[in-house]
Structure 1
Amino acid sequence: MRHNFLRKYIPIFDWGRDYDKTALGNDMIAAVIVTIMLIPQSLAYALLAGLPPEAGLYASIAPIILYAIFGTSRALAVGPVAVVSLMTAAAIGNLAETGTVGYALAALTLAALSGAILLAMGVFKLGFLANFLSHPVIAGFITASGMIIAASQLKHILGVDASGHNLWEIVTSLIAHLPETNQTTLIIGACATGFLFWVRKGLKPALRKLGLGARSADVITKAGPVFAVFATTAATWYLGLADKGVKIVGSVPQSLPPLTIPDFSPTLMADLLVPAILISVIGFVESISVAQTLAAKRRQRINPDQELIGLGAANIGAAFTGGYPVTGGFARSVVNFDAGAQTPAAGAFTAVGLAIAAVALTPLVYFLPKATLAATIIVAVLSLVDFSILKTSWRYSKADFVAVSATVLLTLGFGVEIGVTSGVVLSIGLFLYRTSRPHIAEVGLVPDTQHFRNINRHKVVTDPSVLTIRIDESLYFANARFLEDFLLDRVVGDKKLKHVILMCSAINEIDLSALESLEAINHRLDEMGIVLHLSEVKGPVMDRLKCAHFLEELTGKVFLSQYEAITALAKEPTVSILKPKTPEPDKTAQNG
């Protein structure tokens, strides 16, 4: 019993018992590749968050180890990511000045709060809450955030002091400072950006043409940012470009992550609570999406609630080791997966590699131009920008298009916090809108079968004295009145109608508000001389109805099947009396 508990809540006891030399070898190779990729990326994302570059390395060591112990994904790589880094900067930028102790303390506190929220969600199994963020809205938010991040890094490419929390502020600030552009910095930034874009698209095919193996070509391609870092750092040092106005990383502490204590003052925690919730939800959605996608390729299982615990532990680890909020990153996880990582131990080995880098390699980045790190960020985040979601949503669902467009525009115009908040509100609003107007179909019997289909889509037979309505949604407070209005509008004036059957095959839940509407429908129909019946009521729904007086007051019967109901209520117990109904076009009705 205890062993099963440990395997469930501490997954390392599950995959660790089958760990062998083959897995060790694969994990070590993956760790080397990911470590090479993460060194410049971690430094860059820390600067994006407004923190010293070493904070990116610190946020990539203890969190990875903790996730390896508590997480369920065997390929997810946890650490700083672009969107969360931007949200961190937005959350604490108004509370403290960049570069101060107060700013760093706020980042630690934000990580601690985020970790606590994620842990609480995991313990109470609240992972389903993330489902309220629709994919189109998340895609719109990430697209807009990618544009803001890319624009915010142009100041490093140009070598100017620009600022802003949204796209408009950033662009106007850049234009105002454009005359101050440092030409040398611009050359370095433009060359690094162009090189990194070429690495992504052209380096691997070029290496393959030269006869290099696929694995070797892939490793060298993933190490592309390291080549850019090495070349620009060497050029800056050799040519003395720092003296010509090129901004460099400068001195980075040569040490392992320090023990740090967040600031738990009530005032600061109150200021950071809402941003922490937003970061937790967005981070979890991004992480679980990546984890489930990669797990499906190997037919592995991801436990969302345990993932919350793993990410929560990772963030708390970041809070006490000099880091800031982290989550599972798409790019690094895909690299980890493609490199052959078999278990979360690959992440632990990556942490060891980054720890070595933090101790031994930090002096080598003293002359690293910030323009190179900016180029790394720009190339990484532009892959997140996907405007095709606008075209897709326009074709598929106008409501989704409105939600996506609003999220993009609000994020670009007012910043990430308002953007993500609007995304959450729009996602919930979209859900309520759709379910508040459920698809309701009048159905008839398909000839020579026992199946019932929409009269506007299929050639079916009906009886003028019997009306069958199928509700394709659970009934709750938001849509109960819609059903009531629809049904009463349909029956008013129909003199031949004697029976109404509610076909409940798609109803999984009926709440108290919906029950009151059903009681009202039953009463109103009774006053009209029409009998109300139910058919195909699911067991759990029937159990709930038995707890109320509705079934006792129901004027008709509850039938096991719709065919049984129509056979019993038709003028004669044969299908032959039913009359064909000419199908009519119905663009809003669903199939069936």
Structure 2
Amino acid sequence: MRTKLSRYLPILEWGRDYNRSILADDLMAAVIVTIMLIPQSLAYALLAGLPPVVGLYASILPLMLYALFGTSRTLAVGPVAVISLMTASAAGSVAAQGTAEYLEAAITLAMLSGVMLAILGLLRAGFLANLLSHPVISGFITASGILIATSQIKHILGVDAGGDNWPAMLGSLALAIGDTNGWTLAVGIPATLFLFWVRKGGSPALQVMGVRQRSADLVTKASPILAVALSILAVIALELGERNVSLVGPIPQGLPPFAIRGTDIALIEKLWVPALLISVIGFVESVSVAQTLAAKRRQRISPDQELIGLGSANIASALSGGYPVTGGFARSAVNFDAGAQTPAAGAFTAAGIALATLFLTPLLFNLPIATLAATIIVAVLSLVDLKTPGQLWRYSKTDFIAHAVTIAITLLAGVEMGVIAGVGVGLVLYLWRASRPHAAIVGRVPETEHFRNIARHKVFTVPHVLSIRIDEALTYLNARWLEEYVLEEVADRPAVRHVILMCSAVNEVDASGLESLEAINHRLGDGGIGLHLSEVKGPVMDRLKRTRFIEELNGKVFLSQDKAFAEVSLDTGEPPAPVDHYLARGLI
């Protein structure tokens, strides 16, 4: 009973071995992640078009719920860049930023996403993580990183600009660049340069000063808090608020308000599709991060339970006035490097964020929005992968097409259309490949029992035997193609009297595949040509035996390709030759 319950409440599993040593590691990790998460949460709420405090709200209760239901020991849940951008796109389609309706839309997205993820988890649908191919995800994240970075340039310049896609953003920035606020630029540029430098040079500089590598790495990753502190001091010292430098302003003190929201049916009808896309993208991103970190410690996660964990986190976010959340790579990596041992580190981080909302928010009044924009730009540009397109072009042209189309549509039409187009193109290309399976004419490698492609190897064949190896399952997608392929190859070889289908790679034959095999059998039989099968797998053979195909087959079914080739090669349709003739050709 305990084992079954712990499957849905993983805390019962890791909680049994919890001790002081683990507590100390989790607390240390929580302190580091809390320092990092405060400016990140504010920045990502800004990216989502929401009041900064909403980012803090989305970083408290969701972490606690994930600690109860999640299976990753080190995944840190909260607002992330890509989901924030998708939230802004979805909520912006039904309401204007800064309105109560916009906030309600964001909360509704969190609730819908949470319910969808939880239901999928209960249905054990974790396999859905495999439906989005890596090229599509990589292309979407790269394009999203470019969109996010571009959208934040206006805050660095201190201008009013917008746009729903990349060309519109660039055009709007070009028109507004003449209105650049020099004081805002004087804050944004140094903050951006500092954050870029500290990513690469911060840790080596600290190590030169005598700091241990691990400590230097952790301090470097928490460096945005230093940028925040310095920029606040600059605002106060230079009175930049009076020079039209945009500031965060007043942030409500106190814990997030708890209320049941996201129940407007009309709003749900408008947002369920974007919520589904947010759910899928968030789940795939989170599972990818969780599996990567778990593998480093030889741990495992359960994708089905991760759906429930992320679902509960999003429902908790909606109930506490937040917006959609998922597992983030940057903060999870920091959590891992800081030595977090269990999900309790996330709960301690939530407590730290809660204390910040209670006592520290007045200190953030003078925080320049340009600094938060710099934090976002530096964070998301690491998502832009310029190496993958070249690698995909060399390895798989079809995957490159899916990757490139996803990038192009996301940049030109927005994030939602980018996801839909990427998935659609990926499925179309998959179906196209599946409809044209690989098949090869094979011959026997001399002095062996192995058969290989005649186009790649020096092999032995005989004119009256055509051996075809099928390298895919026979389904409705490719059955007709196989039928045409076999008959065309036979038509090109008038001497053929036997066709052997080598089925070692055929894992399934559906009804359409069976129909094509029957058609091939009848067509070849009408021409006086025998059809034989070799190396048919047991489950496939079991299904074929339940039909009349085996009885009507005008040839035989052989256990091995070598046995089939040796036997049918003797049948030339001509008077028998001396035994020496067959011995000389290696047929017997």
2:417: which partner in 1?
Answer: 418
Matches of residues 409-448 of structure 1 in structure 2 within 5 Å?
409-448=408-447
1:552 to 1:255, Cα distance in 2 relative to 1, 3 A: farther
Distance 1:275 1:103 in 2: 14
Local SS of the residue matching 2:442: strand
Distance 2:23 2:554 in 1: 70
1:575 to 1:196, Cα distance in 2 relative to 1, 3 A: farther
1:81: which partner in 2?
Answer: 80
2:576: which partner in 1?
Answer: none
Local SS of the residue matching 2:250: coil
Local SS of the residue matching 1:482: helix
Matches of residues 100-499 of structure 1 in structure 2 within 5 Å?
100-499=99-498
| 8 A contact 1:71–1:307 mirrored in 2 | yes
Deviation at 1:560, TM superposition (A): 2.2
1:38: which partner in 2?
Answer: 37
Name the stretch that deviates more: 229-238 or 187-196: 229-238
Deviation at 1:576, TM superposition (A): 4.6
Deviation at 1:393, TM superposition (A): 1.3
Matched letter for residue 454 of structure 1? N
Deviation at 1:493, TM superposition (A): 4.1
| 8 A contact 1:37–1:225 mirrored in 2 | yes
| 8 A contact 1:463–1:579 mirrored in 2 | no
Name the stretch that deviates more: 166-175 or 235-244: 235-244
Name the stretch that deviates more: 45-54 or 455-464: 455-464
Deviation at 1:275, TM superposition (A): 0.8
Deviation at 1:538, TM superposition (A): 2.0
1:18 to 1:494, Cα distance in 2 relative to 1, 3 A: same
| 8 A contact 1:439–1:472 mirrored in 2 | yes
Distance 2:527 2:358 in 1: 84
Deviation at 1:256, TM superposition (A): 1.4
Distance 1:499 1:561 in 2: 16
Report how many aligned residue pairs link the two structures.
579
TM-score (norm 2): 0.95
2:14 pairs with 1:15: yes
Distance 1:105 1:553 in 2: 67
| 8 A contact 1:470–1:503 mirrored in 2 | yes
1:251 to 1:473, Cα distance in 2 relative to 1, 3 A: same
| 8 A contact 2:531–2:554 mirrored in 1 | yes
Distance 1:552 1:129 in 2: 41
| 8 A contact 2:262–2:318 mirrored in 1 | no
Distance 2:583 2:321 in 1: 79
Local SS of the residue matching 2:219: helix
Deviation at 1:357, TM superposition (A): 1.2
1:493 to 1:457, Cα distance in 2 relative to 1, 3 A: closer
The superposition leaves residues 243-289 of structure 1 with CA deviations (integer Å, 9 ceiling, x where unpaired) of 11011111111111221322323321121111111111111111111
Matched letter for residue 266 of structure 1? I
Deviation at 1:579, TM superposition (A): 7.6
Matches of residues 559-570 of structure 1 in structure 2 within 5 Å?
559-570=558-569
1:549 to 1:323, Cα distance in 2 relative to 1, 3 A: farther
Deviation at 1:136, TM superposition (A): 1.3
1:52: which partner in 2?
Answer: 51
Local SS of the residue matching 2:460: strand
The superposition leaves residues 309-361 of structure 1 with CA deviations (integer Å, 9 ceiling, x where unpaired) of 11111111111111111111111111111111111111111111111111111
* Structure 1 unaligned spans of 5+: 581-592
Name the stretch that deviates more: 239-248 or 146-155: 239-248
Distance 2:342 2:434 in 1: 41
Distance 1:339 1:547 in 2: 60
The superposition leaves residues 539-576 of structure 1 with CA deviations (integer Å, 9 ceiling, x where unpaired) of 22223333433223222222222223223322189985
Matched letter for residue 419 of structure 1? G
Distance 2:560 2:357 in 1: 69
Matched letter for residue 563 of structure 2? E
The superposition leaves residues 511-546 of structure 1 with CA deviations (integer Å, 9 ceiling, x where unpaired) of 222222222112211112122222222222223333
TM-score (norm 1): 0.95
| 8 A contact 1:133–1:428 mirrored in 2 | no
Local SS of the residue matching 2:360: helix
What value does the CA root-mean-square deviation take over the aligned residues?
A: 1.8
| 8 A contact 1:251–1:366 mirrored in 2 | yes
Local SS of the residue matching 1:460: coil
1:575 to 1:115, Cα distance in 2 relative to 1, 3 A: farther
| 8 A contact 1:468–1:501 mirrored in 2 | yes
Matched letter for residue 429 of structure 1? V
| 8 A contact 1:248–1:370 mirrored in 2 | yes
| 8 A contact 2:112–2:262 mirrored in 1 | no
Deviation at 1:487, TM superposition (A): 0.9
| 8 A contact 1:463–1:578 mirrored in 2 | no
Distance 2:436 2:107 in 1: 45
* Structure 2 unaligned spans of 5+: 572-578
Distance 1:18 1:185 in 2: 52
Matched letter for residue 343 of structure 2? P
2:556: which partner in 1?
Answer: 557
| 8 A contact 2:218–2:337 mirrored in 1 | no
1:265 to 1:549, Cα distance in 2 relative to 1, 3 A: farther
